[in-house]
Amino acid sequence: MSDSPAYRVTLARILRPRGRHGEVAAEILTDFPERLARLKSALLWDGKNSPRQVAIRQCWLSQSRGGQAVFHFENSHSISDAEELVGLEIQVSIADRVTLPTGSYYVTDLIGCEVIERRDSGERRIGVIRDVQFTGEEIPGTPNLVLESPDGELLIPLATEICKRIDIAARQIEVVLPEGLLELNSTKSNR
C-alpha cells in the first residue's frame, strides 16, 4: 500500500480522551459508522508524516454529542496516552472501503473525472469535476457535480437522465445535457 493519502480513506478524527484507560472519542466521517465497531486495525495519520498501523482493542458507537465513535487502541492505557492521539485521522486503505451498490459512487471517485458530451457532431469536453454539492439535509435532492470548465464553474445535476454513463476506471462521465443548461449556470454568463 502506498503512503499517499490518495490510497487511504478517513473514517473518523480523534477529538479527545474519553475515559481513564486510554480510550478516545472520535468524530465519525463515514456514511457507514457501523463498520467502525468491526475494525480490527486502522491507520493513524497526523496529516504530515506516514500513517502508522495500529490494532484496535475495541470500538463502539456512542450517542453522546450527536454521535461519536469511541476507540480503544493497543498501547493506549492512560489519559495521557489518549491525549497524544487527539487530532489524528483514523484511516483504512482505499481498497478496504465499503462496496457501494450499483449506481452509487464515492465523492472522491467522482472528483477529477472528465465530463464529456457526445453528439452527432462529435465529442465535446465540458469540464472536470472539482466537487459534489449535496442539497437539503431534511429532504435530500439530486446532488450537483461542480465542474471547472473553460467557461468558469458549472453545475450539472448528478441525475441518471443527464449522466448517462459513469466510468470511474476511465475517469470519465458521459452526459446528455438539456438545452440551455450550460448557459443557465455558467459563472461567466452570470456576471
What is the CATH class of 5-96?
mainly beta
Whole-number average pLDDT of the chain: 88
pLDDT confidence tier of residue 51, bands split at 50, 70 and 90: very high
What is the CATH class of 107-185?
mainly beta
How high is the pLDDT of residue 139? Answer: 59
Integer Cα distance of 82 and 25 in angstroms = 9
Q: Do domains 5-96 and 107-185 have the same CATH topology?
A: no
**Over the stretch 106-146, which tens digit does the pLDDT of each residue have?**
888 899 999 999 877 888 999 999 999 887 666 568 889 99
Higher-pLDDT residue of 63 and 126 is 126
**CB distance 116 to 174 below 8 Å:** yes
How high is the pLDDT of residue 152? Answer: 87
Domain ranges of the chain: 5-96, 107-185
Question: Once rounded to an integer, what is the mean pLDDT over residues 42-51?
Answer: 93
**CB distance 73 to 22 below 8 Å:** yes
CA distances from 20 to 23, 76, 136 (A): 7, 10, 40
- Whether 185 has a pLDDT exceeding 90, the answer reads no
**Per-position DSSP letters for 67-118, written without gaps between them:** -EEEEEETT--SHHHHHTTTTPEEEEEGGGSPPPPTT---HHHHTT-EEEEE
Supply the pTM of this predicted model.
0.68
**Over the stretch 75-114, which tens digit does the pLDDT of each residue have?**
999 999 999 999 999 999 988 888 888 888 888 889 999 9
